[in-house]
Each structure stands twice: as structure tokens, then as C-alpha cells.
Amino acid sequence: MNQLAKKTATGAIINISVTLTKNLGQFLIVIPVLARILTPEQFGLLAMAMTLVGFLTMFNDLGISAALVRAEKPSTAFWSSAFWLNLGFGLTMTVAAYFAAPWVAIFFGEPQVEELVQVMSCILMLHCIFLVPMAWLQRNYKFRTIALIDLSAIALSSAAAIYLALTGHGVWALAWQQIILYAVKALAGQVFNKAPIRMTFQWSTIRAVLPFSLGLTGAAFVRFLNQNVDNVLIGRFFGADALGYYSRAYLMMRMPIQTLSRGLNFALYPAFSSIKEDTEKLGRAYVKTVSIMSVIVFPMMTGLALVVVPFVDLLFGPQWGPVAPVLRILAFVGLMQSVASSANEMWKARGRSGVLLRWSIIRAGGFIIAFAIGINIGTLEAMAWAFLIANIVLLVPFQYEVLNQLDVKAVTLLNAMRPQFISTLAMVAAVLSVQFSFPSIQALNSTLQLLILVPIGGLAYFLTLILLFRGFVRTSLDDFRMLRSKDVPTAPTTA
């Protein structure tokens, strides 16, 4: 295994392990506690406020930090200019959010949203302070440092949220959770990074990367619309309660993307950038990435759909029952988005931000049409079904273009996912057989149902994988052993 592969694999393992740890903490402690103290309406109010804050976050960086990561040898002037530009944007966006807050409250018909947005507007400034330090850490493969920052931020913010919720602060527990999360990241980023930031600004260093960075910003902006237009429509037409239910289902759907895809892709981007001119290597790396992602995502999301009712009851409590039918549908959206997410890093590495923008616009159009249909039908389940169908329709042409770019045949990618797909079907057959053969299982409490069904499904999946696809399993284990047997190489220089 060459040095680049080892650094990438090590970074991916660190990021995935840390994200998994964070999400387990959320699953086992934070989400169950907050869901039993706070109401769906309060979660809905936070989601309304975050639509504006999240929207303005898209403009904070203009894609400059991504340009720093992929640059051959970024100069001190480039690092410094990027930092001060981000700081200026952060201040501007904070002021804009503060004064736009009344209109957001009027749009949703919820007066409390105004104060929430005004207080949470500081997140925009805190986010900008962290962007360039994060770029330096990512560029230099400082994944353990990033992991430490992430774990510290999530632990402190979650502890604060639980304390505030227990002491009766309602939706403000959720608001301060977000503020503290970004504050810890901003402070830690300044402590741990060694980016050569000086009191200087050279517009020429920024202008040189604008075609790439603005394309990324445009793609991020449209992608944000893709991911939040449903929240806006549900909040506007269905109200805070319905948005609270939907936002929890959407959070669960995004978990594999946050746990696996983002952790892996965060490490892949600098690696893809280093081989961006070698189409053959990039193609092999992409297929391998999709294959690895599928090993976990296929059974995870399909299994979630199978046991969604006891899962939601155990995690959130009985008041959150409407989440289950929505999450059952969205689980398959999460499956597709997780597997396809690495393509974005490939386009970024090749400097093809325009392609990302084009596809983001196409998706936005498709999703808006789908959600409009769901709104007209008038149920959250209809919104989820429309979202799933739109994702299926758009996935095929997107993957076709990706494979053409990498000179990879579709059959090669499908073969890379075949063991995972067949093993997942075996898992589905096993779980459904038990549910239909022993209907009394449904009468058990949620914990017992999960203790019975999850091991049965997991055993069926891994036995099928091991018995029918030994070569695939052997290759995957060999790669892991090679990684563990080697020391992690020294990170590249900053320059």
C-alpha cells in the first residue's frame, strides 16, 4: 500500500471512528434525553431558524478553503488573504442574519423564530474563524487533531443542551447547543493550526482561484436548497409540529452520510486531488470507495427501514410515533446519497466545480417539483415518497456522467456492489421471515424487538457475505491488515 493510500485510509478510519463515536453518543444519550424533555414544536422552531443561518453559511467561505487544500503550494499571502476574507464575510453575514430575522419569523408565522435567528447569527462569524485553520489541518492530514476538536465540541455542546433542557429553557437548549458547538471549534482551530496567517491581504491570490471557488459556492448554495427546501415548505404549510417530526426523521436519514460518507470523503479529497490527473487511478479509487461505503450503508439503512417502529419508539419515545413512517421511506434516500457522495469529491479534486453546480441545479429543480407534489397531497409521507422517487430518477444520469469522466464501465461499479446487495437481500429475507412467522414479536417492547431482529439481520448479512463472496471479504481484510501493519507517514509540508 503506497503512502498516499495509507494516509487516506488512516484519515478515513480516524474520521469515521470519531464520527461514529459522536453519533453513538447522540443516539444513546443526547437524542433520547432531549426528545423526552422537549416537544416536536420546539425542534421545529429550531429547524425554522436554522434555514436562514444555514443558508447564509453557504456564502461564508466562497469555496476558498477548498482551494487551499487542493493548491500545489499555497503561499503565505494566500493563507492570510483567505483568512481575512472569511472574517469579513462572517461579519457581513452575521449582520445580515440579525436584521433579516423579523422576515423569517413572518414567513413561518412563528414570532419566536425572530429572537432565535438574532441570537444564533453569531454562528456565522464563528464558522468563518474556523474555516482556514480546518483547511490547514485537512491539507496536512492532521486528522487526529480534527478528531479531538470535533469530539470536544460535540461533548461540550451536548452537555450544555441537556443541562439547559433539564432546567426548563426549552428551544433555547437547542439554540445554545449549536452556538457552543461552533464556538469550541473556532477557539480550538486557532489553538491547533499552524497556518502562516499574517496581517496582509493580496486580492490577486484570491482572484486566481475564484473560477473554482465560486463554482463550489454555487454548488453548495444549490445543494443547500436541495437539502432544505423541504424544511421550508413543511414549516410554512404544515407548521412547527410537523417540521419537528420531519426534521428528526431527516436527521436519522443523514446519519450514515455524516458518519461514513463525510468521514471518508474528508480524507479522500486531498488524496483525490493528488492523483487528479491520473484517470485510471482515480477511477479505481472511486470504485473502491463506493464498494467500501456499500458494505456498511446497504445493511444499515435497509435494516433501519425494517425495524423503524421499535427504533423510533426506543430512541425518541412514544410522542414521536409519526417519525417512523417517514423515516422508513427516507432510509433509502440516505442509502443512495451516501453511496453517491464520493463523486462530489472527485469533481472537486479535478477542479470541475461547474459540473457540481450544474448537477446541483438539476437536483434542485427535480426536488422542488417533487416536494410541490408532496405538499399538494398534504402528508409528510407523501413528501418523503416524492423525495425518494426524485433521488432515484436523478441518480442514474449523474452516475453515468461520473463513470464517463473516469473511464469506468457501469458493470465494474455494479460488480463492486454486488456482494453487498445480495447479502442485504438475504438480511431482508431473514428479518421478514421472522416477523411473519412469529407475529407475537410485535407485541414485545421495543428493546426486545431490536435485540431479536437486529442480530438476526446482521448474522444473515455477514454469513452471506462470508460464504458467497470470500474473495471480496479476503481482499477487504488484507487492505485493512496492510494499513494496520504500517506506520502512518509524515504529513506533507504546508507550503
Q: For residue 204, is pLDDT > 60?
A: yes
Q: What is the mean pLDDT of the chain?
A: 84
**Count of residues for the chain?**
495
Distance CA 69, CA 266 (A): 11
The residue that leads in pLDDT, 349 or 145, is: 145
Q: What is the pLDDT of residue 67?
A: 76
Residue 259, SS3? helix
Q: Quote the cell numbers at residue 153.
A: 465540541
User: For 431, what's the count of Cα atoms within 13 Å in the CB-facing half-sphere?
Assistant: 26
Alpha carbon dihedral 487, 493, 494, 495, in 10-degree steps, equals: -160
Q: What average pLDDT does this structure show over 168-175?
A: 94
Q: What is the pLDDT of residue 257?
A: 66
Q: What is the pLDDT of residue 286?
A: 83
Q: What is the pLDDT of residue 175?
A: 95
Distance CA 37, CA 29 (A): 12
Distance CA 312, CA 320 (A): 7
Helix extents (H) in 351-409: 353-377, 380-406
User: How many CB atoms within 10 Å of residue 167?
Assistant: 8
261 Rama class: left (phi>0) / alpha (psi -120 to 50) / beta = alpha
Q: What average pLDDT does this structure show over 130-157?
A: 84
Q: What average pLDDT does this structure show over 312-325?
A: 90
Residue 455, SS3? helix
Q: For residue 488, is pLDDT > 50?
A: no
Q: For residue 490, is pLDDT > 70?
A: no
User: How many CB atoms within 10 Å of residue 114?
Assistant: 18
Q: What average pLDDT does this structure show over 98-121?
A: 94
Domain ranges of the chain: 38-208, 211-495
Q: Percentage of the chain with pLDDT > 90? A: 40
198 — pLDDT class (breaks 50, 70, 90): confident
Note the pLDDT tens digit of each residue in 262-303.
666 656 556 666 666 677 887 887 888 888 888 888 999 999
Distance CA 149, CA 287 (A): 31
The residue that leads in pLDDT, 181 or 147, is: 181
495 — pLDDT class (breaks 50, 70, 90): very low
Q: What is the pLDDT of residue 483?
A: 45
Q: For residue 485, is pLDDT > 90?
A: no
Indicate yes or no: pTM above 0.85. no
Distance CA 268, CA 289 (A): 9
Q: What average pLDDT does this structure show over 170-195?
A: 91
308 — pLDDT class (breaks 50, 70, 90): very high
Q: For residue 170, is pLDDT > 70?
A: yes
Report which of 256, 422, 270, 255 is spatially closest to residue 346, judged by C-alpha positions. Answer: 270
C-alpha dist (Å) from residue 259 to 12, 72, 157, 342, 351: 11, 29, 18, 13, 26
Note the pLDDT tens digit of each residue in 321-378.
999 999 999 999 999 888 787 777 777 777 776 787 788 889 888 998 999 999 999 8
Asked which of 190-199, 213-222, 386-395, 416-425 is least confident by mean pLDDT, the reply is: 213-222
The residue that leads in pLDDT, 122 or 317, is: 122
3 — pLDDT class (breaks 50, 70, 90): low
183 — pLDDT class (breaks 50, 70, 90): very high
Distance spanning both ends of the chain, measured CA to CA? 26
Q: For residue 65, is pLDDT > 90?
A: no
Q: In 14-138, where do the E strands start and end?
A: none
Q: For residue 69, is pLDDT > 80?
A: no
Q: What average pLDDT does this structure show over 181-205?
A: 85
Q: DSSP class of residue 317?
A: -
Q: What is the pLDDT of residue 195?
A: 76
Helix extents (H) in 167-278: 171-192, 203-207, 210-237, 240-256, 262-274
* Contact (Cβ atoms closer than 8 angstroms) between residue 271 and residue 70: no
Exposed e or buried b for every residue in 115-129, given b needs 16+ CB within 10 A?
Answer: ebbbbbbbbbbbbbb
Q: For residue 13, is pLDDT > 80?
A: no
